[in-house]
Copies of this chain bind each other. A is one copy, B any other.
């Protein structure tokens, strides 16, 4: 991922702790509490929660309000005795994140505000495989420009952008390989060089981060889903199968950001050849094409997004071949997931992307395999649930990652804003 500082809580200052770090840290702590609260907290409440004094919280909040990150909520009428609390909420007109996505059959752009609300969302459907990367990115910039204008109209300031790509991305933003897109060694930042809003670095923060689609989809799920800061595996079942691993509320990216290639976990070591060069990879059993073929829809040549809808319809109608195909796919997926759970001791598995609409049929066989194969299943059940976000998960997650960076390090934003 290109210059990504990580997406979760403020980093442990590996080096020193200068004096100002204290305030920087407390800005992040207080802002984080405001973001995590379900009801607008008061200064006094924050003080009690954090252990800071009310004096300190007041000072910190003053900074946050001055920096347009936080505003005071409408006073709620009935509170009880005493001076009524002034609730604090994340600013609805402060900085926002721009999320972009290039995928096989669509481009997407969205804007997410500090509170995580999706304020704008456009999808441009088109088969991108015939296009050159440069042309695809040109169209993406059009979408981004429109999103930027839309954001400005709502009083939002875009603080950065993240781009989701269904492939392996380098630290330098180079897309090493995006098999389903047909991309190989595409230098995204260089190709976007002529578009200042996406390239001009502000205050050391890179304006555009390029990251794997499955990872960003997992992030989207993390912020949109029911568990605030849990650990889970988010599986994006598209043409290929990717996964994002969230551990303790933060994305685990691996040594080079290439974690989550669950589609190439060997399932039958001597099984059919996979295009990755291996044999019997999970993808050859539960990839979209494999499921369609098993369901007898191989030749239908449906667009990727309607294929899963069609499968769900047929399954709903009780079509035996489809039900059988989904059961098989679910079992295969379950075997792989059982291995992952044995390895990582996760308590939640999220079926996302194209798997989400099929979750009703995939879930039972997945659970069966887990219960048979996970050593600790007896003591601690594993939750398997469909994703909350649909196809837009990656773009929303991308935009969310920008916003989360500000929430995690508000001091950077404040000093930069003057």
Residues in A lying within 8 Å of B, measured CB to CB: 9-19, 21-22, 25-26, 29, 49-52, 168, 176, 231, 243, 245, 247, 252-262, 264-269, 276-279, 281, 332, 335-336, 338-340, 342-347, 372-376, 379-380
- C-alpha spacing A259/B252, complex, angstroms: 15
- Contacting pair B22 A17 (CB below 8 A): yes
Q: List 28 A-B contacts (CB under 8 A).
A: A9-B14, A12-B12, A13-B25, A15-B49, A15-B51, A16-B29, A17-B25, A19-B22, A22-B22, A168-B375, A176-B376, A176-B379, A243-B343, A245-B344, A256-B347, A258-B375, A259-B344, A260-B343, A261-B343, A262-B343, A264-B342, A265-B339, A265-B343, A266-B338, A266-B339, A266-B373, A278-B372, A279-B372
- Contacting pair B342 A261 (CB below 8 A): yes
Contacts known (A51-B18, A345-B253); A268 close to B265, Cβ less than 8 A: no
Complex contacts, A281 vs chain B, CB 8 Å = 373
- Whole-angstrom distance between the Cβ of A252 and the nearest chain B Cβ: 7
- Whole-angstrom distance between the Cβ of A332 and the nearest chain B Cβ: 8
Complex contacts, A379 vs chain B, CB 8 Å = 168, 176, 256
- Whole-angstrom distance between the Cβ of A87 and the nearest chain B Cβ: 20
Complex contacts, A252 vs chain B, CB 8 Å = 247, 344
- C-alpha spacing A18/B51, complex, angstroms: 8
- Contacting pair B266 A335 (CB below 8 A): yes
- Contacting pair A269 B266 (CB below 8 A): no
- C-alpha spacing A252/B246, complex, angstroms: 12
Complex contacts, A373 vs chain B, CB 8 Å = 264, 266, 276-279, 281
- C-alpha spacing A247/B253, complex, angstroms: 10
- Whole-angstrom distance between the Cβ of A198 and the nearest chain B Cβ: 26
Complex contacts, A11 vs chain B, CB 8 Å = 12
- Whole-angstrom distance between the Cβ of A352 and the nearest chain B Cβ: 16
Complex contacts, A17 vs chain B, CB 8 Å = 22, 25-26, 29, 52
- Contacting pair B10 A29 (CB below 8 A): no
Most B Cβ at <10 Å: residue of A15, A277, A375:
A375
